[in-house]
Structure 1
């Protein structure tokens, strides 16, 4: 039976670990969530990064209008495929290895090459005076700022004509936010938000799920030193505001991070990003730096909760198309 293919792509290894911990925990998932047909979790420290494997492959089966369906959900981690001698924050290295993930050649289970949906997942910053730490944002738009765009001599930088401009979502992405499809109804929010954890550093008053087709993941490329977030994030926001001025309907920021955008550029399949907020703009060293494991793991866990409860709805919807 032909099947559809969904890619869930985490950025860092600890994000993928928190995600998989949720997907393997029955109390974190809906009752119908399947056990993986392929499992590479936890990942051994000395794994074969040159032949990356998905952390897990989940096979969803069911019937829509008396027609059986099958959807394979592959959970990947970009860092798993990266050369360990290179910074795990290197945009250039991420772009080098992403085609391996999209090809599907390494899954170990039969798959079609072209994904039917791509979900970029990771932790992020959110601008504004109010703390959203622990909250999860979902959107479809991306914007990538390259602060080193004029530096064409540095061999470790990645450059693209797609930086510093608004990148529209691929066809089909907006369907997930159509009110008729009720993806983000009160039932979903209740199941998700009762499972969200509050991070230890400057948590939101209450961790919540925020989803809108207009939210934009603002990305910063070529940042490998966390100290550079202090200036690079502000610069990226200014570049985003400038690009946004020419649009009648302004796009709000959904998150500020490094990787959602380069994942989006790999394919024209429908796309969503899921961002768990770890820190306030300009406060990375305070919100994350003082307790990095606890802050990051809790917020990555929250993205896993959202993913676990959203996937069954997505699977059913894909099979109505």
Structure 2
């Protein structure tokens, strides 16, 4: 089986890689074997940054930002779709793991609890075209109204196993510096939905785009599942993947509509540690579930 891991931004990939390297250094993931690494950016950018073997499975890992040409905005949803779609066509993976730092949602915050530093996993995706909120955007990805997709081929049993092994899978996670969760936990459920903000390139516009996306889902599509995170990439990856199953992995780095307080002034540390936790979780998950993967998730 061929598994593709796609990590969104370069600064997220740096933290994510640090998590995996730490586990390798401590020999906690002995069956996840590094075959090669190539972190160059340029003519070889479509080559995987890392290749692993896990038993009979091949895992190829890419940073999406590395696919862009120098000077291009890596927040361009349309360009991101085109590049990821081309990469998927070349690689023909059986499964995709999409990793992207995310904001929490009000349905979680209503419980008076911060999830900063925690990880959410799911297989449902919702996307909203928010270009009207960013008048200067150069991204024009068409999103059908009410676009909401679920992977039926990633089975519920996979999530049952992840939840039963959650303590081991979360082993090694670290607290983020601002408004950290009281307990670092992973949450995995087939009903979890990642909410995608599409065609926004100006970060200042997310203050309006995030609640507009969340409210549209809750008011019109709440029967589709439980929205657990807001970000920009998982839905684009799913659009590019078509029928290939995608598992989203979202490290939460800011509370709902609290980006300015949780991330803006500590951009590096908050995102780096959140992404580090994603690396810990993905590597531990693959190592622990290696015998359960078999031919399908």
Per the TM superposition, whether the score is higher than 0.5 is yes
Deviation at 1:313, TM superposition (A): 4.4
Q: Per-residue displacement from partner, 1:256-293 (whole Å, max 9, x unpaired)?
A: 00000010112212221000000011111110011111
Q: 1:62-73 to 2 correspondence within 5 Å? A: 70-73=56-59
Structure 1 CA distance for aligned equivalents of residues 145 and 290 of structure 2 = 32
Q: 1:241-252 to 2 correspondence within 5 Å? A: 241-245=218-222, 247=223, 251-252=225-226
Residue 147 (str. 1) matches residue 121 (str. 2):
no
Deviation at 1:193, TM superposition (A): 3.1
Residue 193 (str. 1) matches residue 176 (str. 2):
no
Q: 1:163-312 to 2 correspondence within 5 Å? A: 164-169=146-151, 171-177=152-158, 179=160, 182-185=161-164, 188-245=165-222, 247=223, 251-267=225-241, 268-312=243-287
In the other structure, the counterpart of 1:121 is 99
Q: Per-residue displacement from partner, 1:282-320 (whole Å, max 9, x unpaired)?
A: 111110011111100000001111101111345433325
In the other structure, the counterpart of 2:32 is 34
Question: Unpaired segments of 5 or more residues in structure 2?
Answer: none
In the other structure, the counterpart of 2:51 is 57
| Counterparts in 2 of 1:183 and 1:203: CA distance versus 1, 3 Å | closer
Residue 7 (str. 1) matches residue 1 (str. 2):
no
Alignment check: 8 A CA contact 2:35 2:53 kept: yes
Instruction: Name the larger-Rg structure.
Output: 1
Structure 2 CA distance for aligned equivalents of residues 221 and 28 of structure 1 = 39
Alignment check: 8 A CA contact 1:218 1:253 kept: yes
Alignment check: 8 A CA contact 1:30 1:308 kept: no
Q: Per-residue displacement from partner, 1:225-263 (whole Å, max 9, x unpaired)?
A: 111111000000011113315x3xx51112100000010
Alignment check: 8 A CA contact 1:16 1:77 kept: yes
Aligned to 1:36, what secondary structure does the other structure show? strand
| Counterparts in 2 of 1:310 and 1:156: CA distance versus 1, 3 Å | same
TM-score (norm 2): 0.89
Aligned to 1:265, what secondary structure does the other structure show? helix
Give the superposed CA RMSD. Answer: 2.4
Structure 2 CA distance for aligned equivalents of residues 218 and 144 of structure 1 = 6
Structure 1 CA distance for aligned equivalents of residues 226 and 27 of structure 2 = 30
Structure 2 CA distance for aligned equivalents of residues 89 and 277 of structure 1 = 19
